[in-house]
Every structure is written in C-alpha cells, then in structure tokens.
Amino acid sequence: MSTLRDLAEEHTALRPADIDHLHRIAGDWQLLSDLSFADLLLWVPVDGDGTFLCVAQVRPTTAPTAYLDDQVGRIVGGAEVAHLEVAHRQGRIWREGDPVWYGDVPARHEAIPVRLRTGDGEAGEVIAVVGRDTNLSTARTPSQLELNYLTTADDLAQMIADGTFPPPRHPGETTSAPRVGDGLVRLDANGKVTYASPNAQSAYRRLGYASHLVGEDLAKLHRRLAGDPLEGTDAGNAVLAALRGEAPPRREIDARGATMLTRALPLMPAGVPIGALVLVRDITEVRRRDRALITKDATIREIHHRVKNNLQTVAALLRLQARRVAMPEARVALEESVRRVASIALVHETLSMSSDEAVEFDGIVDRVASAATEVAATEVSVGMRRRGTFGVLPAEIATSLVMVLNELLLNAVEHGFPPADEEADAPSPADAARPEAVVSAPRPEVVVSAHRARKQLHVTVTDNGRGLPERFDAERGGNLGLQIVRALVTGELRGTIDLRNGADGGTEAAIVVPLARGTTDRLTGRAGPP
C-alpha cells in the first residue's frame, strides 16, 4: 500500500513542510476520531482537476466505522466531494448536509479544512481537508459522555482548521497513548474539571483520590496526589502549561504504588484558550512488568559475575597446587587447567557487563591471545595479530569458542616455536649447513582471523612456526588439547575443524561454525536447534 508521502508526492504539488504536517495529523488524529465517533479521511486536492485523493484514513475505536473498505488511494470528483471543495475553497468547517448512504449505511459528512501555520504564526493556506464521516445506523440519544466527547471533538476540529492541532511532537514520544477510552478529563479555562469519563475517575481512584473529579482544580490535585504540595510537580505543571495554550510532554504520576500516564492538551479553538483536555491511563501493570524485567536482567548479570569469581577462585587454587607439586608433568597439566578455567571466566566477565546474553567477542580473543604469548619459551617472543572481526556472539558459542581458541593459540606458541634446545634435538639439515638461514627466519607470529559469510563464522589460527610433526594424524592425533578442540567444535558448536600445514610452512587451523540462529536469536542465545 502506498504511504501518505508517496501518494502526496505523486499526485499533488504539496511542499515537504505541508506533507510533514499531514503526517503529524495522521499521527495524532485517532484522538479526534474517537471523540467524534467518526471515521476521518485525509483528502488532498489533486492538481488542477477539481478531484480529491484520499491519503490516509482512521476508524473510531468508540463507534462503528462508516467504511468497511479502505479508502486510501481513492480519487474522487464531482458531487461526492462537493463538501470537501467548499471547505477547501472557503476555508471553513462544512457540516450542513443531509445524511448520505453508503450501501445500507447512513452516514453524515463533515469537512474540516487543514491549515499549516506560517513561520510568523499566521494561519496559512488550506493544504488539505479532513472528512469526518459518522455512521448513523447506530445513532441513539447521546449520553453525557458522548456530548462531552463531541464538544471536545468540535474544539479540536476547529484547531485543525486554525493550524494549532496537532501540537508539536516531543522528542522520543512516539506513542499515541493515552487514548480517549483510557480516561478523559476536560478542564475549563480556570483549570477546574468540567467532565471526567468513568475510566478517568477509576484511574484517579487507584492513585488514592476517591471523590468526584468535577469541580476539582486538576493541577492542584496532581500536586497533592504526588505528595508535593509546594513545588509544582511535573504532572501539575503540565496541566498549567496546557491551560496557557502550550502542549507539554506526557507525564507520569506515582502514588500509592500506582502509576498514571497523563497527556495534557490545550483547547483553543479560534485561538481562544478555553481550557484543556487531559487524557489519563493507569499504567501500573506496565511499569510493574518493566521493573520486573529490569530486576531479572540485573540478576542474570550478577550471576555471571559470581560464576566469573568462582572460576577465578578455582584457577587460583589450581595455580597454588601447581606451585607445590614436584613432578614437572603434573605441574604442566595443572598450569594448563588454570588457563582453561581462566579463559571461560573471561566470557562470564564480559557477560556480566552486557545487557543481553551475547558478547562482543574480539576483546575476549585479544585477551586470550595475549595470555597465550606468555607461555612462549623465554627466549622466543611471539607476535599476536587479529585480522577481521568476530562481532557479537551468543553466550553459548562464546564459551566454547574461547576454549577452542585458547588451545589452538597455546599450541601455536608452544609447539610452533619451541625453545632452541628442543629445536636442536631435530635440526633441519639444510638450516644446520647454512646458519644465515636461521638469522633471516621470519619473526614468530600467530594470526587469528575471523569473518562471517553466509551465516557462518570462519576462524583461522595460523602460525609461521615449524609445522605439524611428520606423520601427524590431523583427524585423530594429539593429546588432551586437540581432543578438547575437536569435541567442542564438532559437538557444542556443530562446526568443522581442519588442521593442516600452512602453504608457506607453519600450521593452520581452520574452523567453520554455523551462526544461523545463534546471531539472530539473541534472546535465547541458542546457536541452533538442539
């Protein structure tokens, strides 16, 4: 379906500012539709040919619609739009016609000219017409509520013709709440309540005000309810601002554990401030749910924080034990465990600071990588580089992947660049014959690269070291480290790993991990179907 802007740009010569104003009307006119018990149709004159194009439509939530079909996009001329033509040409609200029939639905037509005020506050030209069409088939003797709604609707209709409705939008306010049906209060020019709908009366009762609202000074009442009789409260000031002809932002009143959202609108038909309209809505439940969610979020973060602390304690205990054992192999094994546990703690530390179950992974990789360089033999200094970015990863993927990278990085540093005496055990005959070749050997370096393609994360860990041992079984060979790597990659991560000698020497581990649901489904943090 075409948007208001598309239609207006295609068929009319309206300026961008005019179209913006029409957008603001369509953003705020549910209020007028509900108060009028009528459909509203926004018509713009099509250039030069006396026809009108409907660019927007809204149905009342308080009454049956006059149109079962959508009217947007219709271009109409002749007798059917004669009333629009009068409103457009004469710049006045037209309401003198007899009922018309749409099929078997009797309807009353009215037409409200739309003006956009000029920069110096003058009412400008008529740029469009709002058709207000009431379905009369259910017409009954109007109740007090209906009479009050209709009077207020007429004031707002006049303000559309004056160019003073809708009021400017406040930054960040996108909601049309509260609506008429949530609760409506009308004030006279002195700020005294002249009418309060039953829902409005109930909303104030929840805040602790049990008497009838009619006759109350609403600004004072708001101050009293908020327990702030001297200083003007926000919701009290908002009422006063509306009485002065301004349109303040929406405000909340908290009292007795209940919360009420208020929206105050000035009523100033023909430029005369005659009072204000205050829409109210009991949002206690909404706020309670908000608070529950915020607490739940904080709890999850707190748990990650504790898990991180506990893992760090475990790592510290293992480290203590490693210092005390005499057997070198046992010490090495314990030190490896320290690093494994510490790498998982890194993920939980990051999760404890994020707002959802997902982590910015690059920072974690960089920390694991720099920890790995510390295990390099004392005389070798290994450079670490990261190429590309991992992006944000769900917690589940992150925890497994950090362990995998920890093992691969440690292997690259430990086995790719062994200490000189170990290397001397198996000297390459060519190098031994030409010592200068050793001098010009490239600087030891490990590169971790990552990129995403087709919902997969591709990771490689490459070193320029001495390569895998001869006759190494890349599929099954290795000790605990590579066993952990394979189990995590093919199990938890449902991915693949390829361990091979690099093209220019050294070793390369290439991992592919599917992200299909892991990245989109950030709420559950699941990487795919279980």
Give the pair of three-digit tokens for residue 99.
Answer: 């009922």
Tell me: does residue 343 bind Mg ion (CB under 5 A): no
Tell me: does residue 85 bind ligand ADP (CB under 6 A): no
Give the start-end residues of each E strand in 348-444: 358-360, 383-388, 392-394
Number of helices (H) and strands (E) in the chain: give both, helices first. 17, 18
Residues 6+ apart with CB under 8 A from 144: 195
Tell me: does residue 411 bind Mg ion (CB under 5 A): yes
Q: Select the binding partner of residue 415 from ligand ADP, Mg ion, none (C-beta < 5 to 8 A, by kind).
A: ligand ADP
Q: Which of 238, 403, 404, 412 binds ligand ADP (CB under 6 A)?
A: 412
Give the pair of three-digit tokens for residue 38.
Answer: 């009528």
Q: Which of residues 368-407 bind ligand ADP (CB under 6 A)?
A: 407
Of 361, 341, 413, which Cα lies nearest the Cα of 384? 413
Tell me: does residue 478 bind ligand ADP (CB under 6 A): yes
Decide: helix, strand or coil at residue 506: coil
Q: Looking at beta carbons, which residue is closest to Mg ion?
A: 481
Q: Select the binding partner of residue 519 from Mg ion, ligand ADP, none (C-beta < 5 to 8 A, by kind).
A: none
Residue 227 CA to residue 516 CA, distance in Å, equals: 53
Q: Select the binding partner of residue 190 from ligand ADP, Mg ion, none (C-beta < 5 to 8 A, by kind).
A: none
The answer to whether 93 and 120 are in contact (CB under 8 A) is no
Write the interaction track for ligand ADP spanning residues 286-325; mark x where CB under 6 A is met and - where it is not.
----------------------------------------
Q: What pairing do the DSSP bridges indicate for beta strands 123-135 and 507-514?
A: unpaired
The answer to whether 464 and 456 are in contact (CB under 8 A) is no
* Residue placing its CB nearer to ligand ADP in the complex, 238 or 410: 410
Tell me: does residue 406 bind Mg ion (CB under 5 A): no
Q: Which of 95, 415, 517, 522 binds ligand ADP (CB under 6 A)?
A: 415
CB of 411 to Mg ion, least distance (A): 4
Residues 6+ apart with CB under 8 A from 526: 394, 396, 517, 518
* Residue placing its CB nearer to Mg ion in the complex, 481 or 505: 481
Q: Looking at beta carbons, which residue is closest to ligand ADP?
A: 481
Q: Select the binding partner of residue 84 from ligand ADP, Mg ion, none (C-beta < 5 to 8 A, by kind).
A: none
Q: Which of 463, 488, 495, 518 binds ligand ADP (CB under 6 A)?
A: 463
Cis upstream peptide for 178 (omega within 30°): yes
CB of 414 to Mg ion, least distance (A): 6
Decide: helix, strand or coil at residue 123: strand
CB of 403 to Mg ion, least distance (A): 12
Give the pair of three-digit tokens for residue 328.
Answer: 């070198």
The residue type found at 431 is D
Q: Which of residues 479-508 bind ligand ADP (CB under 6 A)?
A: 479-482, 507
Half-sphere exposure of 59 (CA within 13 A, CB side): 12
* Residue placing its CB nearer to ligand ADP in the complex, 269 or 506: 506
Hunting for tokens 């002065």 — which residue is that? Answer: 244
By CB under 6 A, which span of 6-14, 23-31, 473-481, 521-529 interacts with ligand ADP? 473-481
Neighbouring-strand partners of residue 252: 261
Q: Which of residues 434-493 bind Mg ion (CB under 5 A)?
A: 481
The residue type found at 234 is D
Q: Provide the binding-site residues for ligand ADP, judged by CB under 6 A.
A: 407, 411-412, 415-416, 463, 465, 467-469, 478-482, 507
